[in-house]
Amino acid sequence: MTANATFILDSQDLQPVRVDIGTQINRTTGEKLDPPDIFRSTGDDGVFYQGSLLIFNGTNETEYIIEFDGSSISLFGYALGEVSKNFVVDQAFLEPNNLSESQIHPPLAGGQFPSSPFQGRIKAVQQMSIDYALVTATNTSNLEDTTIFVDDDDVEITWSGWTRQADHSYEITGVGYQPETPTNESGIIGGRLILVLPNGNSMHQSNTQDDSFVFRFAGEPL
């Protein structure tokens, strides 16, 4: 494999460890347990990658380690309200990058959280959820049964006649938030159309017959 390969992890594959309590283990099964302020939502295949979401509900002081087999990781998901839009990764204060926002209050944003890949330590992640993650592999990363992610700007793709489009948002099915009401105290998060930027902030498009591309890879296509 190449050292710069990128693979995707679903939120179900992520096992955050809360720094102040360490790793918790189920004494009966031996499986790792999620920290008490982390929740998992499953079942909505039309909105989330593989129908799952990892939800953080900690405090500003809470710090987590996200374990992964690679050199760096980028997280993609949703942030609800102003409190969750600024956070700390690897001891550096960052703001979410390439987030789309609805025009309601509080706003719901979705996209890539850190402005660059990081090493897996995050805190101040109130009211945030992770849909999936992209991991930069190393020469020793185990890629068995993993899905390799290839961006349209990857050097292994040769485009013929296509137009590269950057800095343009596209409407897709995402997550929307309906604020709390007298009959719904907690608010509702559900599927809706939102505007988002594509991964890497670019895509290739064509309306011309016979435009083509060549993608050389080793593996099985999905």
The Cβ-side half-sphere exposure at 176, using a 13 Å CA radius, reads 12
**3-32 pLDDT, tens digit each:** 478 999 999 999 899 988 878 888 888 888
- Per the CB < 8 A criterion, the answer to whether 85 and 109 are in contact is yes
Per the DSSP assignment, residues forming a β-bridge with 181 are 184
Q: Is the model's pTM score more than 0.85?
A: no
Rg of the chain on CA atoms, in Å: 19
**CA nearest to 194, candidates 128, 114, 109:** 109
**42-93 pLDDT, tens digit each:** 766 667 888 888 888 777 788 889 989 999 888 888 776 555 666 777 777 7
**Dihedral angle of Cα 197, 203, 208, 214, to the nearest 10 degrees:** -150
Report the percentage of the chain scoring pLDDT > 90. 21
pLDDT-based confidence at 182, cuts 50/70/90?
low
**132-144 pLDDT, tens digit each:** 999 999 989 988 8
